[in-house]
Amino acid sequence: MKTIKGPAVFLAQFAGSEPPFNTLDGICKWAANLGYKGIQIPTWETNFIDIDKAAQSQTYCDELNGKIQSYGLEITELSTHLQGQLVAVHPAYNTMFDGFAPKTVKNNPKARTAWAVDFVKKAGTASGRLGLKAHATFSGALMWHTMYPWPQRPSGLVEMGFKELANRWLPILNHFDDNGVDLCYELHAGEDLHDGISFERFLEATGNHKRVNMLYDPSHYVLQQLDYLTFIDHYHGHIKAFHVKDAEFNPTGKQGVYGGYSDWKDRAGRFRSLGDGQVDFKSVFSKLTSYGCDIWAVMEWECCIKSAAQGAKEGAPFIQKHIIEAAQKSFDDFAGSETNNEQLKKILGI
């Protein structure tokens, strides 16, 4: 078994234009003062990291690590959630997802995809230079509009969709393999990889590529009504990153999983600040620890009720309370004794 590392915080929800959230120094000092030991860096926040420089210069990466470590922090992973999303975009979502792209490739889906593939590859190079072993991203989606089979899906559609998705990601996966980094897909509504079955289909389509792994976030499984604890039993070997995020699901006579297009605070399923939702984090941490998952516990704060400031303040001690110091020996070792084959036969009566 291994002790989960943490607490850490994903900076995406806290980055902003005002101090201390607009510079790397400022946000590192803020995170360290709250008790965090690691930061997950969103690569689209250029105030925190320059991916072009990180992909080209070991000196830049060493200086970046040094600056972060001077605050008693470590980088847990880099994130390309937004850029990974753009690796595969169905035309129905072109307008909305163009918001994640630079001006040079807006209104040009092919150029946007090529830009996204190149960017995620650069993030893989940067991750290797920074000494990281895992990377957080989204898969993008070509099939999400067919998630509910009405109208009926034509035969072969899903197989073609996963084949195309795999073809787009294979060059990236091979690049990450060259850099010794696992790609951890966050299984998320709106992505073609959103649950265990879709993950398995993608894994198979890539030829069981060893760098296809996952970011485990139980909050998304609460909203899907998926058994997030048994999920760990099935997929612990692929869990290489971990978002500690809470959620609740309270169906009514008027709405359930789909939410009726309601705003977040009015949905049956909604994300909550740590400890305010329904996720059984004691069991989550116990299972991940017992399976020896070598991961960081990274808070991703999203809540439609509580303030970000309060959520961030409460997050570090919440995670620290749940981290289990993995046992290095059996609790009943004191009662053991040396044995030999003759003694074992005698005990068995053979």
Tokens 């116990």 label which residue?
286
pLDDT at residue number 52: 98
Query: Which residues does residue 278 pair with via DSSP β-bridges, in sequence order?
Result: none
pLDDT at residue number 339: 76
pLDDT band with cut points at 50, 70 and 90 for residue 329: confident
Compute the radius of gyration of the chain from its Cα atoms: 22
For residues 295 and 333, which has the higher predicted lDDT (pLDDT)?
295
Residues 160, 258, 252, CA angle at the centre, nearest 5°? Answer: 155
**Helix (DSSP H) and strand (DSSP E) numbers for the chain:** 13, 10
pLDDT band with cut points at 50, 70 and 90 for residue 334: low
The number of distinct structural domains making up the chain is: 1
Q: pLDDT tens for residues 149-173? A: 999 999 999 999 999 999 999 999 9
Give the side-chain half-sphere CA count within 13 A for 177: 12
Q: For residue 13, what is the DSSP state?
A: T
Please name the residues in contact with 253: beta carbons below 8 A apart, sequence gap of 6 or more: none
What are 24-31's contacts with CB under 8 Å, separation 24+?
Answer: 24/48, 24/49, 24/67, 24/68, 25/67, 25/71, 28/67, 28/68, 28/71, 28/73, 29/71, 31/71, 31/73
The C-alpha atoms of residue 145 and residue 342 are separated, in whole angstroms, by: 66
Averaged pLDDT of the chain: 96
Asked if residues 76 and 42 have their Cβ atoms less than 8 Å apart, the reply is: no
pLDDT band with cut points at 50, 70 and 90 for residue 327: confident
The C-alpha atoms of residue 69 and residue 114 are separated, in whole angstroms, by: 34
CATH code, domain with 273? 3.20.20.150
Tokens linked to 327: 């046992």
Spatial CA neighbour of 298 closest among 14, 4, 26, 49: 4
pLDDT at residue number 338: 74
Q: Which domain holds residue 124?
A: 5-348
The C-alpha atoms of residue 97 and residue 110 are separated, in whole angstroms, by: 13
Q: pLDDT tens for residues 131-141? A: 999 999 999 99
pLDDT band with cut points at 50, 70 and 90 for residue 340: confident
Query: Which residues does residue 184 pair with via DSSP β-bridges, in sequence order?
Result: 136, 213
* Neighbouring C-beta atoms of residue 52, cutoff 10 Å: 13
Spatial CA neighbour of 27 closest among 16, 342, 127: 16
Asked if residues 242 and 215 have their Cβ atoms less than 8 Å apart, the reply is: yes
The C-alpha atoms of residue 253 and residue 35 are separated, in whole angstroms, by: 42
Q: Could you give the percent of the chain with pLDDT greater than 70?
A: 98
Q: pLDDT tens for residues 57-66? A: 999 999 999 9
What does residue 240 show for φ and ψ, rounded to 5 degrees? Answer: -120, 0
pLDDT band with cut points at 50, 70 and 90 for residue 147: very high
pLDDT at residue number 333: 61
Q: pLDDT tens for residues 30-67? A: 999 999 999 999 999 999 999 999 999 999 999 999 99
Q: pLDDT tens for residues 229-284? A: 999 999 999 999 999 999 999 999 999 999 999 999 999 999 999 999 999 999 99
Q: pLDDT tens for residues 75-132? A: 999 999 999 999 999 999 999 999 999 999 999 999 999 999 999 999 999 999 999 9
pTM: 0.94
